[in-house]
């Protein structure tokens, strides 16, 4: 079933197998995904295709500078003949798969309206908490922060995304295929490959994947070494990182490792599963120091050095 899901997404995003693999891994790990890349690379179409393939209730939120928190979570409105009854009208968050399109186009106040939804899977309005559908995923797209009219996401919200996936540009060969096979760029029609029951069975299978003690120890040491105050931190972390990854990063690596092991048909999480998931799971959780911008060092650069410096098995 997971292979059919990947095959369907690969029909929509041509020659982006690595991106599709990471998105499917995050979904099986029940995590939220942040897709970052220039406009026009197919990020939105990927999210829409995922909803069709999973046959899940889908809502899209176009983030703009004038969007308000109530526009996302829902609000109370006056209804009835005498307009005396306050009735809660659900916002677009009340869907199983929510596309937060161009999330960094809105103000931090509006962005923060997603915090409770992403962590607790619920929404609180005027003191009353309402559960969101199960399953619930947020797939957000954002443009590079250097583009005009964008706002950086708060660190607390970034930490709630399981993965931040960088979508690279495509080459001439891919563009030729796109131009010759798609009229006006329309993606192919897709049929559902999973329903809610099938997805629940996949989630249960992911939970049964075993996480060996040495692999769990490797995850702990990797997250610990991302903190520049720790003795195990490598030189790149001490120079370019202000704050390292949180315990939520360790949970994300474990969940992603289980999901990737299932995709590979293995009953146990291996070190290679953690290494493969680490760039997408850690690159948005490191708060870089000013020196990093001066020397044009990015978070993925630091994660690569972190992986090189952290042995899978402790030495000595």
Mean pLDDT lowest for which of 158-162, 188-192, 272-276? 188-192
What CA–CA distance (Å, rounded) separates 3 from 202? 12
Same domain for 88 and 165, yes or no, is yes
pLDDT-derived band at 149 (thresholds 50, 70, 90) equals low
Tens digit of each residue's pLDDT (9 = 90 or more) over 1-51: 778 888 888 888 888 889 999 999 999 999 999 998 888 788 888 888 898
**Residue 271 sits in the same domain as residue 304:** yes
Measured over all CA atoms, what is the biggest interatomic distance in the chain, rounded to whole angstroms?
A: 77
Q: What is the pLDDT, as a whole number, of residue 80?
A: 65
Rounded to the nearest integer, the mean pLDDT of the chain is 88
What CATH number does residue 137 fall under?
Answer: 3.40.50.300
Mean pLDDT of 212-221: 95
At 145, phi and psi to the nearest 5? -65, -15
Lowest mean pLDDT among 49-53, 75-79, 166-170: 75-79
Domain stops at, among 201, 234, 260: 201
My answer on whether 128 and 231 are in the same domain is no
Record the tokens describing residue 88, joined without a space. Answer: 């809660």
Is the predicted pLDDT of residue 265 greater than 70, yes or no? yes
The verdict on 26 and 88 lying in the same domain is yes
Full domain range(s) for residue 234? 209-309
Looking at the predicted structure, is the pLDDT value of residue 98 above 70?
yes
CA-nearest of 62, 14, 78, 25 to 279 is 25
Give the Cα separation of 80 and 148 in Å (integer). Answer: 44
Give the pLDDT of residue 266. Answer: 92
Most confident region among 113-117, 191-195, 257-261 by mean pLDDT: 257-261
Average pLDDT over residues 89-108: 88
Domain assignment present for 86: yes
Is there a domain that residue 238 lies in? yes
Between 85 and 89, where is the model more confident? 89
Q: Which two tokens stand for residue 307?
A: 């992986």
Residue-level pLDDT at 207: 94
Q: Looking at the predicted structure, is the pLDDT value of residue 302 above 90? A: yes
Does residue 103 lie within any of the structural domains? yes
Q: Look at strands 85-90 and 74-79 and give their pairing.
A: antiparallel
Asked if the structure places residue 26 within a domain, the reply is yes
- Kindly tell me if the per-residue pLDDT of 156 is higher than 90: no
Between 143 and 202, residue with greater pLDDT: 202
Residue 315 lies in a domain: no
Do 174 and 42 lie in a common domain?
yes
Same-domain check for residues 91 and 215: no
Query: In this structure, are 197 and 214 located in the same domain?
Result: no
275 within a domain of the structure (yes/no): yes
Q: Specify if 293 maps to a domain.
A: yes
Percent of the chain with pLDDT over 90: 45
First to last CA, the chain: 43
Residue 314 in domain: no
- Are 38 and 65 in a shared domain? yes
Q: Name the domain count of the chain.
A: 2
**Residues 45 and 179 both lie in one domain:** yes
Q: Which of 259 and 78 is assigned the larger pLDDT?
A: 259
CATH code (residue 258): 1.10.8.80
**173 plus 222 within the same structural domain:** no
Q: Are residues 220 and 246 in the same domain?
A: yes
Q: Where are the beta strands (DSSP E) in 213-284?
A: 241-243
Residue where one domain finishes, among candidates 173, 201, 229? 201
Q: Rounded distance, CA 260 to CA 115, Å? A: 26
pTM across the whole model: 0.89
Shared-domain flag, residues 173 and 219: no
What pLDDT is stored for residue 24 in this prediction? 93
Closest C-alpha to 274, from 29, 47, 19 = 29
């Amino acid at each position: 079933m997971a292979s059919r899901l990947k095959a369907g997404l690969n029909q929509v995003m041509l020659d982006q197998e690595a991106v599709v693999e990471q998105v499917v891994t995050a979904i099986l790990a029940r995590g939220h995904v942040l897709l970052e890349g220039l406009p026009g690379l197919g990020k939105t179409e990927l999210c829409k295709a995922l909803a069709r393939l999973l046959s899940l209730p889908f809502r899209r939120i176009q983030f703009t500078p004038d969007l308000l928190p109530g526009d996302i979570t829902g609000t109370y409105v006056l209804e009835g003949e005498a307009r005396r009854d306050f009735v809660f009208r659900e916002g677009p968050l009340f869907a199983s798969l929510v596309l937060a399109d161009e999330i960094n186009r809105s103000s931090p106040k509006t962005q923060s309206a997603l915090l409770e939804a992403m962590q607790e899977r619920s929404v609180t309005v005027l003191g009353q908490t309402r559960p969101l559908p199960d399953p619930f995923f947020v797939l957000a797209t954002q443009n590079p922060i250097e583009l005009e009219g964008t706002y950086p996401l708060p660190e607390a919200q970034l930490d709630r995304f399981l993965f931040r996936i960088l979508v690279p540009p495509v080459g001439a060969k891919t563009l030729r295929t796109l131009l010759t096979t798609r009229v006006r760029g329309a993606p192919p029609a897709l049929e559902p490959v999973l329903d809610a029951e099938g997805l629940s069975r996949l989630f249960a299978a992911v939970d049964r994947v075993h996480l060996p003690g040495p692999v769990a120890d490797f995850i702990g040491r990797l997250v610990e070494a991302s903190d520049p105050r720790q003795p195990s931190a490598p030189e790149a972390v001490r120079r370019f990182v202000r704050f390292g990854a949180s315990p939520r990063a360790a949970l994300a690596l474990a969940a992603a490792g289980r999901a990737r092991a299932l995709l590979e048909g293995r009953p146990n999480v291996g070190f290679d599963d953690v290494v493969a998931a680490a760039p997408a799971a850690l690159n948005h959780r490191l708060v870089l120091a000013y020196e990093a911008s001066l020397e044009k060092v990015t978070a993925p650069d630091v994660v690569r050095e972190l992986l090189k410096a952290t042995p899978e098995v402790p030495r000595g």
